[in-house]
Amino acid sequence: MDSHAIYKPIRFLKGGQVHTLARVAPTRTLLEVLREDLHLTGTKEGCGEGDCGACTVVVGELQDGKLQTRAVNSCIKLAHSVDGMALWTVEDLATPDGTLHPAQAAMAECHGSQCGFCTPGFVMSLAALSEQHPPRAIDRDLASQALSGNLCRCTGYRPILDAAVAMARMPRQRLDTPPVRSGLKALAQIAQAEKQALASRPAKPKPARSPYATPTELSTLLALRKAQPEAQVVAGCTDVGLWITKQHRDFAQVLDLTRVSELRQIDDYPHHIAIGAAVSLSEAFAALVAQRPALQSFAQRFAGLPVRNAGTLGGNVANGSPIGDSMPLLIALGAHVVLASTKGFREMPLEDLYLGYRKTALRPDEVLGWIKVPKPVPSSKGRRKGAVSSGEFCRVYKISKRFEDDISAVCLALQVVLDGGRVVSASIGAGGVAATPVRARASQAALQGQPWNASTVRAAMATLRGEFAPISDMRASSAYRSEVLGNLLLRFWLESQGTPLADVHALTASDLEAVQP
Ligand X SMILES: Cc1cc2nc3c(=O)[nH]c(=O)nc-3n(C[C@H](O)[C@H](O)[C@H](O)COP(=O)(O)OP(=O)(O)OC[C@H]3O[C@@H](n4cnc5c(N)ncnc54)[C@H](O)[C@@H]3O)c2cc1C
Q: Which does 25 bind (CB under 5 to 8 A by kind): ligand FES, ligand X, none?
A: none
For the chain, counts of helices (H) and of strands (E): 17, 20
Find the binder of ligand FES among 33, 93, 118, 418 (CB under 6 A). Answer: 118
Under the binding rule (CB under 6 A), the answer on residue 47 touching ligand FES is yes
- Measured CA to CA in angstroms, residue 254 lies from 13, 75, 239, 317, 437 at distances of 23, 17, 14, 19, 27
Residue in 62, 71, 94 with CA at minimum distance from that of residue 180:
62
**CA 212 – CA 232 distance, rounded (Å):** 10
Residue count, binding to ligand FES (CB under 6 A): 22
Under the binding rule (CB under 6 A), the answer on residue 311 touching ligand FES is no
Under the binding rule (CB under 6 A), the answer on residue 154 touching ligand FES is yes
Under the binding rule (CB under 6 A), the answer on residue 50 touching ligand X is yes
Cβ contact 86:16 at 8 Å: no
Q: Which does 316 bind (CB under 5 to 8 A by kind): ligand X, ligand FES, none?
A: ligand X
Under the binding rule (CB under 6 A), the answer on residue 281 touching ligand X is yes
Under the binding rule (CB under 6 A), the answer on residue 55 touching ligand FES is yes
**CA 262 – CA 306 distance, rounded (Å):** 24
What's the min distance (Å) between Cβ of 208 and ligand X? 22
Considering the complex, state which of residue 49 and residue 91 has its C-beta at the smaller distance from ligand X: 49
Instruction: Count Cβ neighbours within 10 Å for each residue of 265-297 and write b for 16 or more, e otherwise.
Output: ebeeeeebbbbbbbbbbbbbbeebbebbeebee
Considering the complex, state which of residue 49 and residue 61 has its C-beta at the smaller distance from ligand X: 49
What's the min distance (Å) between Cβ of 280 and ligand X? 8
Cβ contact 497:475 at 8 Å: no
Cβ contact 127:73 at 8 Å: no
Residue count, binding to ligand X (CB under 6 A): 31
Find the binder of ligand X among 26, 236, 322, 486 (CB under 6 A). Answer: 236
Longest dimension (CA), the chain: 79
What is the number of the residue whose Cβ is closest to ligand X? 315
Residue in 284, 289, 294 with CA at minimum distance from that of residue 315:
284
**CA 483 – CA 220 distance, rounded (Å):** 49
Considering the complex, state which of residue 33 and residue 318 has its C-beta at the smaller distance from ligand X: 318
| Angle between helical axes of 102-109 and 158-166 (0-180°, round to 10) | 130
Q: Which stretch binds ligand X (CB under 6 A): 125-133, 285-293, 305-313, 471-479?
A: 305-313
Q: Where does this chain bind ligand X (CB under 6 A)?
A: 49-51, 233-240, 257, 277, 281, 302-303, 307, 311-312, 314-316, 318-319, 324-325, 362, 367-368, 405, 407
Q: Where does this chain bind ligand FES (CB under 6 A)?
A: 45-48, 50-55, 73, 75, 113-115, 117-119, 152-155
